[in-house]
Amino acid sequence: MIKAGIVGATGYAGGELVRLLLAHPQVKIVWYGSKSYIEKPYAEVYQNMFKLVPDICRDDNLKEMAGQVDVIFTATPQGFLASLLDEELLHKVKIVDLSADFRIKDVATYEKWYGIKHKAAQFLEEAVYGLPEVNREKVKQARLIANPGCYPTCSFLSIYPLAKAGMIDLSTLIIDAKSGTSGAGRGAKVNNLYCEVNENIKAYGVASHRHTPEIEEQLGYAAAEKVILNFTPHLVPMNRGILITAYASLKKKADGSLPALAEIRQIYETCYEQEYFVRFLPEGSCPQTRWVEGSNFVDVNVQVDGRTGRVIMMGAMDNLVKGAAGQAVQNMNLMFDLEETMGLKLVPMFP
């Protein structure tokens, strides 16, 4: 059995990790870390865990935890892991970090967008960006995983096939994103109160959302070119889910014509035919958050607008599963040479 410790186990992503790992046949959670609830029974924080988790919440002492577990999940704010990580810790234990500390390779970019100084830049080169659909073999060999952000996961997987194939002008790329309120975390914030969110939809982080450079960097690797794009997220009054609608101009073929929808669909089919967690939908079917809720699936589809010469790329997923905890478990499975889908064959919940 793999012994796991979770730092930030009482946040939304941490709570989802607990839910998934409790059902995992090869994992035992031995450390429920939560700085806010030390010594409090975990089941009092999340009553859905009553009679399922008898443990109490413990502190975030990574050094002590590393002596008792095989893998540590850090579902923590930016800067936490980077402030504590050293070679001694990585020598003892594998780490899956759900924060942004090791996602962006350029230190200056990270510090600019997140507004904090990076305290463990020496591990950036080693850290593997944990998107199994593109970095599967690297994940298998890793001891430090930078679990991707929720918006970047859905955005990237919706756009990746055409970016990799060189079919779109990435300088024209615009991403419209919408997320449920759990993406903002469990902390008390006025803007996330019921009366502020209910019966409302709003853009936020316009031209400044910190997931922007992560999306640009990963698409840049796929397309082998520098990418600068517009990314605008919106908050919608639902608990879970992300919906991405991305637009870009298609590159014309040698004869001056646009690629046909059938040709573009074949690129997606080929790219994702072996990927269990990416479901490429039938022609004309638009991804919806309700059909992926509670699962590790990403539903994607594409449409061509011949009138404007643009392609519309769409994706939907659960921000707490594939966008956080589920992807973290998927990475853990690969790191420990387990079946990648183990513990994650979750049927989407409806209604």
The catalytic residue positions are 150
Q: How far is the C-alpha of 312 from the C-alpha of 165, rounded, in Å?
A: 16
**Per-position DSSP letters for 170-191, written without gaps between them:** EEEEEEEEEE-GGGG-SS--GG
Identify the H or E element spanning 129: strand 128-129
- CA distances (Å), origin 79, targets 92, 142, 348: 21, 21, 33
CB-CB neighbours of 75 under 10 Å: 29
Both tokens of 277, joined, read: 């967690």
Q: Is the dihedral of CA 185, 188, 189, 195 positive or negative?
A: positive
Identify the H or E element spanning 334: helix 326-335
Q: How far is the C-alpha of 190 from the C-alpha of 267, rounded, in Å?
A: 44
Q: How far is the C-alpha of 88 from the C-alpha of 249, rounded, in Å?
A: 49
Answer yes or no: are the C-beta atoms of 192 and 238 closer than 8 Å: no
**Per-position DSSP letters for 193-212, written without gaps between them:** SHHHHTT--EE-STTT-TTH
Backbone angles phi, psi at 145, to 5 degrees: -110, 130
Q: How far is the C-alpha of 255 from the C-alpha of 45, rounded, in Å?
A: 63
The angle subtended at Cα 45 by Cα 42 and Cα 48, nearest 5°, is 85
